[in-house]
Amino acid sequence: MSEAITGQNHSVRPPGDVNPRTEAALDFPDRPYGTLSAEDYAILGFMAGLEVHQQLHTRSKLFCRCPAGRYVDGCDAEVLRHMRPTLSELGEYDGTALMEFKTKKEIVYLLERGSVCTYEIDDTPPFHMDHEAVSIALEIAMLLDLNLVSELHVMRKQYLDGSIPTGFQRTAMVGLTGEIPFLVPELGIDRSLRIRQLSLEEDSCREVRDVGHRITFRTDRLGMPLTETVTEPDLLNPLELQAGARLVARIAQATGKVRRGPGAARQDVNVSVAGGRRVEIKGVPYHRGLPRLVHIEAFRQLNLLRVKAELENRAIGADVVALPDGGIPWEVSALVADVTGELSGSGHRPLREAIERGETAVAVRLGGFAGLLSHRTQPGRTFAGELAERVRVIACPEHRPFLAHSDQDPSPLTDREWRDVRRSVAASASDSVVVAWMPRDDAATAAREILLRAGEALVGIPAETRQALPDGTTGFERILPGPDRMYPDTDTPPLPVSDRAVAAVRTTLPDPPWTREQRYRELGLEPGAARRLASAPWAGVFDAVAPTVPEVAQRVASALEMRVPFLGRRGHATMTAERIAPLVRTLEAGTIRPEATERALDDLLRHPDREPDALLERYRVREDAAERCERRVAEVVAQTSALNGTDSEGVLRWAMGRVMPAFLGQLDPRYVRERLTTALSASSQRGFA
Amino acid sequence: MTVPTADPYRGYRGPTRAVMERFGITVWCEVRAETTRGTFEGLLLPRSETSDELHLVLKLGVGYNVGIRHDTVRSLEKIGYREAHYQIPEKAFPRNASLPAVKLLGTGGTIASRLDYRTGAVIPAFSPGELYGSVPELADICNLETEKLFGVFSENMGPEQYLILAEKCGEAIREGYDGIVIGHGTDTMHHTAAVLSYMVQRPPVPIIMVGSQRSSDRPSSDAAQNLINATWAAAHGPIAEVLVCMFGPTSDRYNLLHRGTRVRKMHSSYRSTFRTLGDIPVAMVELGKVTPLKEDVEPRRTDRDVLVQAAFDDRVSIVYYYPGMKADVVDALVERGYRGLVIAGTGLGHVNRVIYPALERARDAGVQVYMTLQTLWGFVQMHVYETGREILELGVVPLANMLPEAAYVKLGWALGLHPADADTVRRLMTTPLAGDMTEREPHDGYLVFQGGVPEIQEFLREVWR
């Protein structure tokens, strides 16, 4: 399943999962995010890649004609389903191989009739693929410099967590192997980022609730078209990762045809460090938290490698945690004991109440692990947390807490209770013991999972998919599937992508962000503003009005950035090149001064029913401006007597506020300020009237 | 499933085959393709015969399949070779002397499958060992033997298959099995269920038909639950009739057992498509429990008596009446030698005046004509309107609330059994057999509610669909 990356990585075989450097940096001390340099991450062997999921802005969903983007809170009906794994030719026949099944989840889907049809609940075969989505995916693939396939083959990628009612996601490969410029001067990055692939696929359900053995999903988002862009693991430190994510996002946004806003784009991150293997962190919604998240994950992995090294020092072998297949753990193994009786009067309330509910308390011996359960893995978390996470996800206990261990200090159990528990599993001083309490069947599952995870500690870093938590740590989500569980979707015929279709999409291709950015920088925008404009939805309008004077370009870009999002839907609706062009022309001609840009733009967008010329009139430079200004200055200065006690700077500010609005666009604010300052000092010299 | 590896160009023809030959490439080669759209590397898979002849299919290392158009190919370089071996390692189905013996007869359709991820092939699992691997719960229910009779899509099932299937049921009963399960495609499951109800009468053990609405390779498939419940009903269930066992609601809750003559597939794809019409289902099956819903059911017996009458005359047709239908449609059937017609008439069993003469000519030619209902629910009642009375006089025989499909197979069977005895055929047709006509329709025999209506919306919010 895992292959080392050799020099010649044929893409005929699955890509490698193991970090190319095999020596872990075990001596590197744990340090918080923000204190490491790029060289430090290089020492750690840090390596990361991205999988960016981007929703496309289409009218309908990908494989049915339901509306895309309709999010609802209500529910008309519910459907209950279960998932069964399909065995491969390598699969096990043993009935208990479906052990996971016995704790299988009940999966409830909430349906709302406006957002789903019988396709989503897997009661109708797919309709033909949405052509709008295919075009947009091709466009993004071209911007990413990918080799386009001639025929889209829809595949089934199995997921058993219930997030898709069919149990698989329909996904098709659109393009492969490209390279894009990766230029981030502030981080010293000037190279390229390799893109492995882009696929077109359907989005999954939104999780509503996950308690015990029942998980509930909302189906509104299900079936919306997504592109998944996968990069090579070329990102060598957390800030690079963030920059890479932003770059990929900007490229999709450059098309103007992707959804924006919360949830429209999510990234999965693959991280590994030297001596380890990749772990996937799923569903990170914001770029902001990425660097800290992957930093913490890198050190979690390093700490697991330290645990492994310590276990090797102690000569602990896999047999120490081995459990026979089948049967109830505490009946077939001396490593596990039913300690319900010993703990029934416990002072630890969660435990006592569980036993009162008729649940089982189980003890598990981890031979030779003494002290390792409290080994730090993440900020505020220990190795015991890794065990608890597995139990939580796979055994599905409803109540928490459900676990205690012998390394805990202070401990929820008394010394005497620990003595009894240790005796029940014949644990010596060099052994750790874990106690878990939950319904009997779940307790059996928990015992198995604890021993399984302890066994994986001997290997180092288990292949996992983890979820990002708000504090920057990660939690176990599921075992990372081995080779992709993918096979052709026989419900859909292959879709040809002809040269003519590709050419048609090419004509609509926007400039890639880096080309755009450079153009804006040449126009006079500073790098940050140039980058933001390149990925803004109004970039097209900006290009259409084509300001040529640097100061005007800067002001227009800034004004758009300030006003359009603020005006929301209204702003977008009126913001056409036609509407804005008159303003740009007058600014360039000098008939309106640049300071008025933002206000004037705002007027144009807020009052679409009024003629631009009429709205712009008040900002136009007029011959008598200076004269009128003098009169106004005099008026206002006369009123400053009411400001007795205010400092002179405050008075000036107040006065500017009374004078400038009438002359915005007509007079240089510095000139007005200078006139006011003169008039105010003259007046104060005279004394107040 | 075995793959004949003899043909190195499986499915490739015309221009794609020419490209392969030009570069010395066959199926299962690992190739590097240089094309006008860039370089692609992957395993060359066989091409489906229903796909065009213009594209090569590669399976990439990441698992995806892609198509490469032949005229974009500049070169194909062979960098390896990986032949497909569809070998399913087999383990024996565990035997338990205390459990009943069930015979599973396969007609086609995939009640269970396995996946070859290397190539993407879906391989039917059918032998007991293979089924055990897919649905291990079966080993807790019975000792299973399987026999594959044919491998056809159910729309291709026909009289020839019905005869074999009926004989095999008889054989399994004589051999002492405690129950029979028949794996069948869902499209015509109700036709087969009906004809078996006639061909295999008064079985001492359950004969349960089962299939899956969603392909069994997918994690969400109804296949496993259907198979588990069907096997349970066959092994332990108290009802010895020909029954269809499929989902109740579309949720994974319970299965229903439907009498073979009253069941029909009512939706093209819903899991909950099979419904008993004009009555309630015979029983519910769920988690190792059969709960009869009706009292008048045939109980399981210890004897091995069964009446197997496997015969079928396929010169029978269903005529689906429509307004404006002309006489020549019926005449044509009669002229071509059809011996029996089942009309699916409108309303209470009506057709237009225009075809009366044709019905007369049919009667004179000795063709038996019967009336059933397009509405599917309700009774043929030809005395109520003049039209009905007129049609009766033309010798058309009403069939109460028999379903059109059941009437069709019954007529074919009766004519096959008694080719020269029209009166016996008529008697058989008009005598209720295996519940194909009922004396009464209870108030809950017809429940087709409309969505959108407030009380229904409220109900839907309270139950799992």
CB–CB contact B220 A486 (8 Å):
no
Mean confidence (pLDDT) of chain B: 93
Confidence of residue B215 (pLDDT cuts 50, 70, 90): confident
Q: Tell me how close the Cα of A378 comes to any Cα of chain B, in angstroms.
A: 31
Write the CA distances from A18 to A46, A52, A270, B397, integer angstroms: 12, 21, 11, 77
**What's the pLDDT tens digit per position in B65-109?**
999 999 999 999 999 998 766 555 567 889 999 999 999 999 987
Q: Work out the angle at residue B211's Cα, subtended by the Cα atoms of residues B205 and B216, and round it to the nearest 5 degrees.
A: 135
**Residue B289: strand, helix, or coil:** strand
* CA pair distance B108, A688, nearest whole angstrom: 105
B21, B29 Cβ separation under 8 angstroms = no
The reply to whether residue B214 touches residue A122, judged by beta carbons under 8 angstroms, is yes
- CB-CB: which of A124, A146, A173 is closest to B64? A173
Which whole-number Å values give the CA distances from B268 to A92, A126, B184, in the listed order? 34, 13, 16
So what's the ipTM on this one?
A: 0.91
Quote the CA–CA distance of A612 and A600 in Å, as a whole number: 9
When comparing pLDDT for A640 and B397, which is higher? B397
Given a cut of 70, is residue B48 above it in pLDDT?
yes
> What pLDDT score was predicted for residue A687?
54
Q: Tokens representing B233? A: 């009903």
Q: Do B51 and A494 touch (CB under 8 A)?
A: yes
Long-range CB contact pairs, B267-272, < 8 A, 24+: B267/A123, B268/A124, B269/A118, B269/A123, B269/A124, B269/A125, B269/B213, B270/A118, B270/A123, B270/A124, B270/B213, B271/A123, B271/B213, B271/B214, B271/B222, B271/B246, B271/B247, B272/B246, B272/B247, B272/B248
**Nearest Cβ partner of A150 from B65, B72, B113?**
B72
Taking the mean position of all CA atoms in its chain, how far away is CA A342? 46
Q: Distance from A88 to chain B by nearest Cα, in Å?
A: 5
Is the separation of the CB atoms in B378 and B441 below 8 Å? yes
- Contact call for A121 and B43, based on CB within 8 A: no
B141 Cβ contact list (under 8 Å, min separation 6): B99, B102, B228, B231, B232, B235, B236, B288
Q: How many Cβ atoms sit within 10 Å of the Cβ of residue A662? A: 15
Q: Using 50 as the pLDDT threshold, list the residues of chain A that sit under it.
A: 1-10, 89-90, 92-100, 102-103, 688-689
Give the model's pLDDT for residue A406.
95
The confidence score (pLDDT) of residue A608 equals 84
CA–CA dist A468, B15 (Å, integer): 50
Residue with the larger pLDDT of the pair B147 and A546: B147
In the block, which residue shows the tokens 């989503």? A120
Q: Do B65 and A173 touch (CB under 8 A)?
A: yes
Residues of B with a catalytic annotation lie at: 110, 186-187, 265
CA distance A48 to A235: 5
% helix, strand, coil for chain A, step of 5: 40, 20, 40
Contacts of B88 in chain A (CB under 8 A): 89
Residues from chain B contacting residue A197 (CB–CB below 8 Å): 62, 64
Give me the pLDDT at residue A680, please.
Answer: 85
**Among the partner residues B66, B136, B220, nearest to A167 by beta-carbon distance:** B220
d(CA B458, CA B435): 35
Task: Give A298 to chain B, closest Cα distance, Å.
Answer: 25
How long is chain A? 689
Q: How far is CA B59 from CA A43, A175, A522, A689, B439, in A?
A: 37, 14, 45, 91, 60
Residue of B132, B191, B185, B212 lying closest to B316 (CA atoms): B191
Q: For residue B145, how many C-alpha atoms fall within 13 Å in the half-sphere facing its CB?
A: 13
Q: How confident is the model at residue B57 (pLDDT cuts 50, 70, 90)?
A: very high
Window 418-447 of B, Cβ < 8 Å to A: none
Q: Is the pLDDT of residue B271 over 90?
A: yes
> Nearest CA to CA, how far is B60 from chain A (Å)?
5
Residue B214 sits at the chain A interface (C-beta within 8 Å): yes
Q: Which of residues 443-462 of B touch A (CB under 8 A)?
A: 451, 457, 460-461
Q: Is A69 helix (H, G, I), strand (E, B) or coil?
A: coil
Give yes or no for a contact between B210 and B184, defined as CB atoms under 8 angstroms apart.
yes
Residues in chain B: 465
Contact A387, A403 (CB under 8 A): yes
Helix (H, G, I), strand (E, B) or coil at A604: helix
* Closest listed residue to residue B82, CA positions, set B53, B61, B56, B51: B61
pLDDT for B410-434, tens place per residue?
999 999 999 999 999 999 999 999 9
User: Which one-letter DSSP state was computed for residue A509?
Assistant: P
Enumerate residues 47 to 86 of chain B having a beta carbon within 8 A of any beta carbon in chain A: 50-52, 54-55, 57, 60-69, 72, 79-80, 86
- Which of B218, B267, B461 should we substitute to test contact with A (largest number of A Cβ atoms within 10 Å)? B218
| CB half-sphere exposure, B278, CA atoms < 13 A | 25
User: What pLDDT, on a 0 to 100 scale, did the predictor assign at position A621?
Assistant: 83
Task: Check pLDDT > 90 for residue B123.
Answer: no
Query: How close B13 comes to chain A (CA, Å)?
Result: 17
